[in-house]
Amino acid sequence: MSLGVTEILLGGRTQVANVNVAGKGQVGIVVKARFGDRICALKVRRTDANRETMDAEVRLHGIANGAGVGAKLYGHSANFIAMEFAKGANIVQWAQEATKKQAQEATASILEQCYRLDRAGVDHGELSRVDRHVIIDESRPTIIDFESASTERKMSNVSAAGQALFVSGPVATMRNKLVPVDRDVAVAALKKYKWDQTRANMDELLALAGS
């Protein structure tokens, strides 16, 4: 209530204790909620979480927002984070009906957002699993869940997401059916960017995306 949340809206694909919710992670459970005249995503700290507050995640999520990445933060307390509800489907579900143009646009947008995170000094930490951490509405991707993010690690957002998009895993398999990419060329471009995170090397990756 102190955050301005007036109602919890149960429902979603994830089930916790026989209750359907929007999502579940190592740190929190996400439910839909009413926030003023908007529907938001409310992340609730789990009692068995490996942290006492949500403060660190909020700080890192805020840096990401400053770089134009992630769902917009609305408010937070020690145990709750209220943020924009990311509409759409996870990237695997979305890719099943995507067109070639949509796949090109979404891939380029994900990589560009990852580059902005790299430049902002926030490593998401889990973008090798883009199927769990990217929601897409039409061709607009949103990177979600900054609970494992850090400013202390080497930045690997582009490298991790690029591997998942171009090289291996369910997303790469589905995406490459729409927009084929030579695996060896992709691996070489990703290695080049990993060791020298310049705009020029980033643009080589965007070219692979069809951008």
CA 94 to chain centre: 14
- For the cut 80, the answer to whether the pLDDT of residue 211 exceeds it is no
pLDDT in tens, 72-111: 999 999 999 999 998 888 888 888 888 899 889 999 999 9
pLDDT confidence of 158, banded at 50, 70, 90?
A: very high
Last residue of a domain, one of 56, 84, 112: 84
CB 104 within 8 A of CB 211: yes
Average pLDDT of the segment spanning 49-67: 94
CB 61 within 8 A of CB 149: yes
Average pLDDT of the segment spanning 193-203: 95
- In the chain, the number of structural domains is 2
Separation CA 71–CA 86 (nearest Å): 6
CATH number at residue 109: 1.10.510
CA 97 to chain centre: 20
Last residue of a domain, one of 84, 104, 130: 84
Last residue of a domain, one of 62, 84, 106: 84
CB 57 within 8 A of CB 147: yes
Range of the domain at 105: 89-209
CATH number at residue 32: 3.30.200
Model pTM? 0.90
Average pLDDT of the segment spanning 146-151: 93
pLDDT confidence of 3, banded at 50, 70, 90?
A: confident
CB 58 within 8 A of CB 67: no
- For the cut 80, the answer to whether the pLDDT of residue 127 exceeds it is yes
Same domain as 61, residue 123: no
